[in-house]
Structure 1
Amino acid sequence: MKQVVKVRLLPTQDQELALSQTLRRCNEAASWLSQQMHALGITHRFAAQKKFYVELRERFNLSAQPTIRVIGKVAVAYTTLRANVQAGNFGPPGSSLRSKVEAKPAVFRPEAAQPFDARCLSWQIPATGREGTVSIWTVAGRLKFLRVTGKPEHLLLLRTCDIGETDLIHRDGKWFLFATIEAPEATAQQPRGFLGVDLGIANIATTSDGYRMAGARLNRYRKRQLQLRKRLQARKTSSARRLLKKRRRKETRFATDVNHVVSKNIVAAAQRTGRGIAVEELTGIRARVRLRKPQRAAIHSWSFAQLTGFLAYKAAQAGVAFVQVDPAYTSQACHQCGYVDRKNRRSQAVFKCGRCDFVEHADHNAARNIADRGVARWDEVMRPDAAPILAAS
């Protein structure tokens, strides 16, 4: 199972200068290569490497492997861009935004992240402590004994697992390494039922056991941050812009921490009871739902995908089965009798069945429906040939 581990670099002044020069040189090379590839209509890595490798290396005085990594970075950027265009994220064919995006080559910021591999970067992580060192290629030569620090559990993973690509990132005056590792994955046991999880805004997550993680605190925090941003943007002063820049990722960090706590509690509950975890497949929800203007900011700022991703990888680490189910009508179907009607959902919190008069908290009812669908989905995954056999009999 792939996992990303973040550690912080602690460079000296000279080392920081070398790292900054490396990022700028590599991104300058990437922007030049992007222009050449766009002009010739080349988007694939091997075609770009065959045509531009020698010139790119000589023009920007790069070593062999960093040159390969620059070419790979540009090729990945065009692959991502092509996927977004085909998905319609820049509008339909012929739209002004899509035409504008397709007409321009990809451009890389001077301090955009630069990928490294084992030939460019090596790790020296001791068995104990919160610090280690790395040896990394730079345009000023190879830097050795560059200090890194991080959480003990992250350093343990770096010491014991296979390390793949590592990104060098400069953010808010700090240096980081984001390493992709192949983390051990526990064998998922046969679950004794499923813990359904209904995701939402008023309640971040509600389980089929009835446990609700209220989102009021997070929503109040986001509302305060929105009001603060509006006041600072209205001032239009250099100090206001400085404060905006300083606070730009504070809300994201807060929400990420909340999602980590919520996902950890859910996985622990499922592991303790020997059950799997079932959640709704909410991909594309922003495009599917129609909301009033005040509700749009809430749903667009809430990270459904992040919480689902945290649940998935934490469940894999714990050996807990994890499935995603069809979300259709989970909030409108009565768990007691199965009757489906949009009028069953009387309000955000109240569910009352129009057939059997069953009354339940709306999110709890939805979570119980999700748990039932999790069982059916698990049977489909583990026995994909069961349905045809039953149909034949």
Structure 2
Amino acid sequence: MQVKLMPDAVQAPTLERTLPAINEAANWVSAVGFEGFGLKASVRELRKLCYGELKMRGFGAQAAQHIIKRVADAYTTLRVNIRSGNLGPEGSKRRRKAEAKPVVFRPHAAHTYDDRCLSWNYDAKTVSIWTLGGRIKEVRFASSPEALKTLTEHRKGESDLVFRDGKWFLIATVDLPDPEVFEPKDFIGVDRGIVNLATTSDGDNHQGRRLGRHRRWQARKRAEIQAKQSRSAKQLLRKRARKEARHATHVNHKVAKDVVAVAQRTERGIALEELRGIRERVTVPRDPRARLSSWPFRQLGAFIEYKARRAGVPFIEVDPAYTSQRCPRCGHTERGNRRTRATFQCRRCGLAGPADHVAGVNVRNRARSAWVFVTMPEPVPT
């Protein structure tokens, strides 16, 4: 859960000195660990090499431990990504580049605080936080009454200090209990796409035309700004990129909220296509490549999943193969069934309709079959 910090004129400069200094120290620890152990640096080894120096630089014991742990966690994540192939096969340019240099942290990258370095006063809506200039108290934060209640009852663990667009935020971890998932009467199949962000088996269509127009407008503006090649132009480009990402996130939140609300009201589950790795599996021509790369399908799926969990709505992912080419009435599957991107017509039985709606119906039908196996009790060994 994110809350906005509102430091005063005395507190803000202290925070502004602290976060870059923390990340500068993290870069030093990363360089030392990479020189000594490559990508295999662990918390124990980094602590032996760097803890004393961090203390001499003015970092408290707990702050020094967090810096070391952040660096070790970054190398652990990098090793996992290499092993899983997320950076390409062995010898690829991207993988060689990642393996050839230490992990680098941005000057204002988020830093983790635990309850020893950060304490909350919910009644006064203030926090006390460690900085290089000492602990600063009574830093005000803003939150809605609902968010404050959630923080008071469910906050647990660490919080991240974030500096974004000139504003300070705390992202706190809350441990919400999962509500009991009801037994669905049926399922809503959701087909995700580029032109239509989401089309349900009920025929509800959440179009992506406005988001597409917004992205094309932003692309034209980026081209104009990039032509100037100035320092202020680069800063403006970064600001615009964040603004575009926030707009796409807002649209996905609205779509996910609508889908989950319908499922909860009608006591049905939600089924999505399992689309992980689609960018690696699908080859597209050069012109629409940018549209595919900026397609926020994974974020939309994640939003629907977590909103469904919070509402107690059953959620399942199904095999996406041929959902837009299979006839839901007779089962005939053929590429020719989908004559255009938008239309479907079965060449065997003649069933016709919007292709995305047909795909949503196929997703729903697969969820009906798959849910039986998900809820089936395990056989008792004899």
Confirm whether residue 117 of structure 1 aligns to residue 114 of structure 2.
yes
Partner of 1:91: 88
Which whole-Å CA distance do the structure 2 matches of 1:139 and 1:344 have between them? 66
Q: Could you tell me how far 1:155 is from its partner in structure 2?
A: 2.2
Which whole-Å CA distance do the structure 2 matches of 1:237 and 1:33 have between them? 33
Q: Could you tell me how far 1:49 is from its partner in structure 2?
A: 5.1
Which whole-Å CA distance do the structure 2 matches of 1:95 and 1:59 have between them? 41
- TM-score scaled by length of structure 2: 0.94
The structure-2 alpha-carbon separation of the partners of 1:63 and 1:242, relative to structure 1 and needing over 3 Å to count, comes to closer
Confirm whether residue 213 of structure 1 aligns to residue 210 of structure 2.
no
More displaced stretch, 255-264 vs 106-115? 106-115
Amino acid paired to 1:182: D
The structure-2 alpha-carbon separation of the partners of 1:237 and 1:107, relative to structure 1 and needing over 3 Å to count, comes to closer
Confirm whether residue 322 of structure 1 aligns to residue 315 of structure 2.
yes
The structure-2 alpha-carbon separation of the partners of 1:79 and 1:341, relative to structure 1 and needing over 3 Å to count, comes to same
Deviations 1:83-137 (A, max 9, x none): 22223333322234322321211122222111111111111223xxxx8111111
Which whole-Å CA distance do the structure 2 matches of 1:82 and 1:8 have between them? 34
* Contact residue 33 and residue 56 of structure 1 kept, 8 A: no
Amino acid paired to 2:56: R
Amino acid paired to 2:70: K
Which whole-Å CA distance do the structure 1 matches of 2:268 and 2:210 have between them? 29
Confirm whether residue 34 of structure 1 aligns to residue 30 of structure 2.
yes
Give the secondary-structure state (helix, strand or coil) at the position aligned to 1:180: strand
Partner of 1:168: 161
Partner of 1:339: 332
Residue in structure 1 matching 2:246, options 224, 244, 253 = 253
Confirm whether residue 10 of structure 1 aligns to residue 3 of structure 2.
no
Confirm whether residue 278 of structure 1 aligns to residue 305 of structure 2.
no
Partner of 2:152: 159
Partner of 1:288: 281
Which whole-Å CA distance do the structure 2 matches of 1:279 and 1:240 have between them? 40
Give the secondary-structure state (helix, strand or coil) at the position aligned to 1:186: coil
Amino acid paired to 2:65: I
Residue in structure 1 matching 2:218, options 225, 232, 255 = 225
* Contact residue 34 and residue 41 of structure 2 kept, 8 A: no
Q: Could you tell me how far 1:67 is from its partner in structure 2?
A: 1.4
Q: Could you tell me how far 1:61 is from its partner in structure 2?
A: 2.1
The structure-2 alpha-carbon separation of the partners of 1:239 and 1:71, relative to structure 1 and needing over 3 Å to count, comes to closer
Give the secondary-structure state (helix, strand or coil) at the position aligned to 1:183: coil
* Contact residue 43 and residue 72 of structure 2 kept, 8 A: no
Residue in structure 2 matching 1:47, options 44, 48, 67 = 44
Residue in structure 2 matching 1:204, options 181, 184, 197 = 197
* Contact residue 115 and residue 166 of structure 1 kept, 8 A: yes
State percent identity of aligned pairs: 47
Deviations 1:239-295 (A, max 9, x none): 534432332211111111100000000000000000000001111111111111121
Give the secondary-structure state (helix, strand or coil) at the position aligned to 2:276: coil
Confirm whether residue 70 of structure 1 aligns to residue 67 of structure 2.
yes
* Contact residue 189 and residue 200 of structure 2 kept, 8 A: yes
The structure-2 alpha-carbon separation of the partners of 1:196 and 1:56, relative to structure 1 and needing over 3 Å to count, comes to farther
Amino acid paired to 1:144: K
Q: Unpaired segments of 5 or more residues in structure 2?
A: none
Which whole-Å CA distance do the structure 1 matches of 2:56 and 2:40 have between them? 21
Which whole-Å CA distance do the structure 1 matches of 2:62 and 2:132 have between them? 12
Give the secondary-structure state (helix, strand or coil) at the position aligned to 1:112: coil
Give the secondary-structure state (helix, strand or coil) at the position aligned to 1:294: coil
Confirm whether residue 108 of structure 1 aligns to residue 105 of structure 2.
yes
Which whole-Å CA distance do the structure 2 matches of 1:76 and 1:220 have between them? 39
Give the secondary-structure state (helix, strand or coil) at the position aligned to 2:173: strand
* Contact residue 49 and residue 68 of structure 1 kept, 8 A: no
Partner of 1:268: 261
